[in-house]
Structure formats: structure tokens, C-alpha cells
Amino acid sequence: MLKEYYRDNLDAYDAKSEIQKLSFYPMMFQSALVMMKTGILKEVHQKRRKGITAKEISETLNLPYYGVNTLLETGLTIGLVYLKEDDYYSITKMGFHLLFDEATRVNMNFTHDVCYKSLFHLEESIRTESAAGLKEIGINDETIYPHLSNLEEPIKTSWFDFDHYYSDRAFPEALKIVFKDKPKHMLDIGGNTGKWSIACCKHDNDVKMTIVDLGAQWNVAQENIKNLGLADRINGVVGNVLSKDLKLPENADAIWMSQFLDCFSESQIEHILANINEKMDENATIYIQDLFWDRQKDFAAAYSLHGTSLYFTTVANGNSKMYHSRDMINIINKVGLEVVEDIDEVGEFHTILKCRRKK
Ligand SMILES: C[S@@+](CC[C@H](N)C(=O)[O-])C[C@H]1O[C@@H](n2cnc3c(N)ncnc32)[C@H](O)[C@@H]1O
């Protein structure tokens, strides 16, 4: 059902005001980021009781008065700071969240470091279904994936912080859901740095894991696994899931894909799931953990997922996105699988679709 926040429910005056704001979103974004990076916002927070002037901040931080004053004025309009009296600024609730909310920090850095310059190529990406912005972060390739572990800083840290921030929060609850079924051997497809496989081995003393990922990523995971002494329980299959020749171990009773299928187009997802269905044990269970924009409680979460889709369009591969759950479930059904359990709000934002082969 369509959420209330997706209805045309602004009056004419508010609609005009909102659309004016859109023209300046990128400028306001940069302004907020620089207020953070220069310490201006922190200074306003520290002096929030009495308030602080632009001149005082400029002297304390040794920054030109012009810049501090300009940023504080844009901060007023964004709603990060407010005027207590005369020229004395204090922090708003929004400013407080910008300073201290971890999700906001992770999202801002991801947007700025990984996506911002690349988004200049959005139109080309849309027209060509290719990641036309990828070259802006130094990669001449069709997808970002083989290059994840070799990205330059701060792009690399911002990418992994963003990816891990969300999946890390879902893992504790996901472990309980998956291990209710007592899996013995699980494939972790798109296992990345090995976090899920390692968490599974810590959660259950008997489970064996096989990570399936691209070569460069498996090398990173393997190092982490070795350092934790888990090499006898977690092994790896290096391969491209889009290749027809990919050999998956046949004796797994569970197949896990977290924040993975959203990295592919609908036709690629169909290929991946059909291939798994063909090769897996007939009684195996597939767990698809992903973020679906229609399943979010809050507008801000759905908004963030739509923003993330544009990362997939211009940076990741040009043809993937954060899906509506209906689109994913349609593909699951099309390849001869069925959803036997559908669990929302895992962690806070994820859904687990537990699937089996249709009998
Ligand atoms: C967004 S990350 C997901 C990470 C992890 N599963 C999680 O929940 O945080 C996607 C992973 O899929 C891998 N990947 C992307 N394309 C792939 C392909 N064609 N074949 C195999 N692995 C691929 C990437 O290397 C990366 O580790």
C-alpha cells in the first residue's frame, strides 16, 4: 500500500517553497559538510548555552571571518543553528544530529567521497545504463566491485563504512533467525570482508561457511579469517556469480545473500537465483537479506534508499538499485523458488526473505 508520505499532500505555497529548496540542495550539503570539517558546528555546540558569534569562532578556529559568517548564515537556513540573540548562534536539534548521529556521518561521507563528483554523470548513466561516473573515483571499468579493496582513501573507508554500518546492525537479529534452522554448511555469497561468516562461526561452534566473492575481495576476507584462526571453518570460492561456469559447492543446506542482490539488474538477479536453484540441494534454504524501500517505516529511510539507488546508477554498475520488495519477490517466483517466510525490520531497516524450491 502507498505510504502517506508519497501522496501529493503539500498545499500550493509549501510546494513552491519546497521546490525552491531543491535547486540549492547540493550547495547546502557542501556547506553542512564544511561546517563539520572545520569545527564550526562543534564550536557552536560547545557554546550553545550563551551562544557564540561568527567573530569569536573565527578567532578560536583561526578561520577567515568571511567564511565562518557565510557558513553560519547558510546553517541558519538549513536549520543547523539558530540565533539566540543578536549575533549569538546556538545549535538546533538538526545540528546536534549532524554532529553526533553515526548514520548521518556515514551517509554524508558516502555521498561526498564516493558519489558526489560521479553524480555529475547521472544523465549519461541513465541514457547508457552504465556507471558513467565511476571514472571520477579513478576507475576505468564497468563496475566498482573488482576494485573495492583498492579504492583510494577516503573513498575506500567511506564505501566500507557505509556498507558495514547497515549490515552490521542487522547481523545480531539475522543470526537468531538463520540459526533457528540449525544450518550445517552455509554459502555466504558476496561475503565481502568475511564479517557475516565470522559472526556465524562465533555464534555456532559447528557451522562451516563458504564465501563466494571476487578474487580481490576474497583475499581481504581470507586475511581476516586467518588472523582469527577460523581458516578450517571458512573457505572461499573465487568467482563471478554472473558467469555460467561458476561452480557452487553442492552440499550446502543454507545460502545467504546480504546486501548482495541489490548490486545487480533484474535480469542478472534472475540469472543468479536460477543458477543457485539449479545447483543447490533440493532442501536447501536461501536467505535473502536486503533493504526494500517500500518496507521502511520512516520517510528518511526510504529517502536514503532512493539516494543509494543513484549510487548504483552512476558509480556501482549502472543497472542495479535498491528494489521494491514486489520486484524481488516476482523474480524469486519466476525462477521456481518461493518465499516461505518474510521478516521485516531485521535490525531496523532490513528484510529477510527465506526461500525454498517450489515443490
Ligand atoms: C554490497 S557488498 C555486500 C557485503 C556483505 N554481504 C554485507 O552484507 O555487508 C557486495 C559484495 O558482492 C561482491 N560482488 C559483486 N559483484 C560480484 C560478482 N559478479 N560475483 C561475485 N561477487 C560479487 C562484492 O565484491 C562485494 O563483496
Q: Measured in angstroms, how far is the CA atom of residue 190 from the centroid of ligand 1?
A: 4
Q: What is the CATH number of the domain that holds 50?
A: 1.10.10.10
359 band by pLDDT with thresholds 50, 70 and 90? confident
Between helices 102-109 and 93-100, what is the axis angle to 10°? 70
Q: Is the pLDDT of residue 40 over 70?
A: yes
Q: Are residues 225 and 143 in the same domain?
A: yes
pLDDT at position 349 over 70: yes
Residue 259 to residue 79: CA distance in whole angstroms: 33
> Which residue, judged by its Cα, is nearest atom 4 of ligand 1?
192
Instruction: Identify whether 154 is preceded by a cis peptide bond (ω within 30 of 0).
Output: yes
Q: From the alpha carbon of 166, which atom of ligand 1 is closest?
A: 9
Q: Say how many domains are in the chain.
A: 2
Residues 226-243: pLDDT tens digits?
999 999 999 999 999 999
Can you read off the three cell numbers belonging to residue 37? 570539517
Q: Is 167 in the pocket of ligand 1 (CB under 6 A)?
A: yes
Point out the domain boundary residue: 82, 100, 118.
Answer: 100
Counting from 1 in the atom list of ligand 1, the atom nearest the Cα of 168 is 9
Decide whether any atom of ligand 1 lies within 6 Å of the 214 Cβ.
Answer: yes
- The pLDDT tens digits of the residues spanning 177-234 come to 999 999 999 999 999 999 999 999 999 999 999 999 999 999 999 999 999 999 999 9
Residues 108 and 141 both lie in one domain: yes
For residue 1, pLDDT over 80 is answered with no
pLDDT at 85: 86
Question: So what's the pLDDT on residue 245?
Answer: 83
Residues 82 and 142 in one domain: no
Out of 76, 100, 124, pick the residue that ends a domain. Answer: 100
Taking 70 as the threshold, does the pLDDT of residue 2 lie above it? no
Are 248 and 338 in a shared domain?
A: yes
Residues 309 and 323 in one domain: yes
Q: How far is CA 216 from CA 37, 112, 147, in A?
A: 32, 25, 7
Residue nearest to atom 27 of ligand 1 (CA): 192
Domain range for 85 is 4-100
288 CB within 6 A, ligand 1: no
243 close to ligand 1 (CB < 6 Angstrom):
no
CA distances from 55 to 48, 64, 98, 197 (A): 15, 9, 23, 53
The pTM assigned to this predicted structure is 0.94
% of the chain surpassing 90 pLDDT: 94
Per-residue model confidence as pLDDT tens digits over 254-294: 999 999 999 999 999 999 999 999 999 999 999 999 999 99
The DSSP symbol for 50 reads T
User: Beta partners for 88?
Assistant: 85
Considering the domain architecture, whether residues 207 and 126 belong to the same structural domain is answered as yes
Please work out whether the CB of residue 35 comes within 6 Å of at least one atom of ligand 1: no
On whether both 122 and 214 belong to a single domain, the answer is yes
Summarize pLDDT for 70-104 with one digit per residue, the tens: 999 999 999 999 999 889 999 999 999 999 999 99
